[in-house]
Chains A and B, each alone.
Chain A
Amino acid sequence: MAEAAGVAAEFFASNRARAARAVLDQVVLPGEELLLPEQEDGEGPGGAGERPLRLNAGARSRVRVVCGPGLRRCGDRLLVTKCGRLRHKEPGGGGGGVYWVDSQQKRYVPVKGDHVIGIVTAKSGDIFKVDVGGSEPASLSYLAFEGATKRNRPNVQVGDLIYGQFVVANKDMEPEMVCIDSCGRANGMGVIGQDGLLFKVTLGLIRKLLAPDCEILQEVGKLYPLEIVFGMNGRIWVKAKTIQQTLILANILEACEHMTADQRKQIFSRLAES
């Protein structure tokens, strides 16, 4: 039975690690292993005969590569854990740059520094519990607003919308958010005003809308005057002059995900006429 097990083990394993550079911008799936550029040299053909002799054999020049969302370190390779397209960003200073997987997702996982829209669900003592769409409600202290002191409490009720950023967000602790930046100024964060409409979209669409040169936003801006807030947790709050315009804008943004650029331009031109 031992030989059978050995044969079976060989049959089951099929290792195919590819170079990360070769699969950039292509679809990668969980279970694939990627080799970083520095390892490719060592594993090329020829083996020991073609590698140049080094005086200090132990120390190789290591480039620090950052492993982003969708990738995990597994030994000295990268293991893909989500399906999507592999992306790479060149580093500004020294270092090997960042690799990550661009994947489609609806469920948000809190990340430090992200600006999100949350809904206040409870007030307990000195903190508010805010639902941000993750696996735990985030906590928001009442002192984390601009100009808030122990005597001067902010006017926040259960059910209000809050725009803030995460200061603590890791898998082991409850996420904490604040509505001031590091200088103590609000910078647009805080309680979001009355009226308007909050709706959910996928995370990929939010990232696309927040890209620097997004055409959708420019076209929407030309259509009606509006106020809009984007939360990285997939929530968008929009407000226009009338309820009908607000609903039209919400429907357009939700549908943007499933439309090509031409269909979108058609809809915008039809709305601009009417």
Chain B
Amino acid sequence: MAGLELLSDQGYRVDGRRAGELRKIQARMGVFAQADGSAYIEQGNTKALAVVYGPHEIRGSRARALPDRALVNCQYSSATFSTGERKRRPHGDRKSCEMGLQLRQTFEAAILTQLHPRSQIDIYVQVLQADGGTYAACVNAATLAVLDAGIPMRDFVCACSAGFVDGTALADLSHVEEAAGGPQLALALLPASGQIALLEMDARLHEDHLEQVLEAAARAARDVHTLLDRVVRQHVKEASILLGD
């Protein structure tokens, strides 16, 4: 779309947000009864569902079992109706496999896998509506689902995307901003210790701007953490009230 300015002179983006402002986030835990853990998150118009099973026996070949750690198996799938044009293959294509690998890397950093050797933890994420920031929404949904399943984790994992337009770093990109072709960075952070679980960018960005973009992404990830914190506390309070505490 030629002529569409991503950042106006007054500092407003296409959807009326400020440069560092996040989209509205709503999340729920425990949406599926049959899974060990599940969660649903909406970040603006991006909707993602995560389901966790485990730790259970290794399925398939026994040879894949790791003697000292649990195997984390992530599968990413985006529904055929999730994008503007109907997608042919929901999962199994190159992008989904790569996303699955990135999610696996992210969660191997956060889950305490040494507590469950020779077992497997499955994380299935499905994107129901993709409006930019799908990796971030998947990571946030999967964190809530892993917490719902009671699998021990070192810390939350909170993720956000960031871009760079006209000398300003933007946080939480929507599809329009991603499609414009500027640099985009995806950051997954462990908020309490400040450690980075995954940092991914495949565009060109001058190294002088890197710190600014990184800071914007980190600040946004911490804001996400504040929101998810509230959601988890609410869920735990409701659950323990019903159990009569």
Residues of A within 8 A of B (CB): 1, 4, 7-9, 11-16, 27, 29-33, 70, 72, 79, 81-85, 102-107, 109, 134-137, 171-172, 204-205, 208, 257-261
Contacts and interface: CB of A to CB of B under 8 A. Distances in A.
A102 B55 contact: no
Contacts of A1: 207
B54 interface: yes
B189 to A, nearest CB: 7
Given A11-B218, A12-B218, A104-B239, A31 B191 contact: yes
B47 interface: no
A132 to B, nearest CB: 11
Given A9-B194, A12-B194, A107 B54 contact: yes
Interface string B49-60: 000001111000
Interface stretch (B92-100, B147-155, B160-168): B147-155
A83 B116 contact: no
A29 B156 contact: yes
A31 B119 contact: no
15 contacts: A1-B207, A4-B210, A12-B196, A27-B237, A72-B112, A81-B112, A84-B236, A85-B240, A107-B36, A135-B54, A135-B119, A136-B119, A171-B116, A171-B117, A259-B242
Interface string B26-67: 000000000011000000000000000011110000000000
Contacts of B244: 208, 261
B8 interface: no
Given A8-B214, A29-B229, A172-B117, A14 B56 contact: no
B74 interface: no
A259 to B, nearest CB: 7
Q: Which of B195, B218, B242 has the most CB of A within 10 A?
A: B242
B189 A30 contact: no
Given A12-B189, A107-B36, A107-B149, A79 B154 contact: yes
Contacts of A32: 192
A14 B191 contact: yes
Interface of A is mostly: loop
Contacts of A4: 210-211
Interface in B203-237: 207, 210-211, 214-215, 218, 222, 229, 232-233, 236-237
B236 A83 contact: yes
A205 B243 contact: yes
Chain B interface, DSSP helix/strand/loop, else mixed: mixed
Most buried by B among A72, A104, A208, A257: A104
A268 to B, nearest CB: 15
B211 A8 contact: yes
Nearest to B52: A107
Contact of B55 (A16, A30, A107, A204): A107
Given A8-B211, A14-B222, 17 more contacts: A4-B211, A11-B194, A16-B192, A29-B156, A29-B232, A30-B154, A30-B155, A31-B156, A31-B191, A79-B154, A81-B152, A81-B153, A84-B240, A103-B150, A106-B36, A136-B57, A172-B117
A11 B119 CA distance: 37
A242 B115 CA distance: 44
B242 A12 contact: no
Nearest to A170: B117
9 interchain residue pairs of minimum CB distance:
A12-B194, A105-B150, A31-B155, A135-B119, A31-B192, A81-B152, A13-B194, A30-B153, A107-B36
B55 A109 contact: yes
A27 B148 CA distance: 14
Contacts of A81: 112, 152-154
B193 interface: yes
Given A31-B156, A79-B154, A135-B57, A8 B215 contact: yes
B156 A135 contact: no
Interface string B114-129: 1111111000000000
B193 A13 contact: yes
B243 to A, nearest CB: 6
Nearest to A200: B34
Contacts of A13: 193-194
B85 interface: no
B152 A70 contact: yes
A135 B117 CA distance: 9
A31 B193 contact: yes
Given A14-B192, A205-B243, A82 B57 contact: no
A83 B193 contact: no
Contact of B154 (A31, A104, A136): A31
B171 interface: no
B187 to A, nearest CB: 10
Contacts of A260: 242
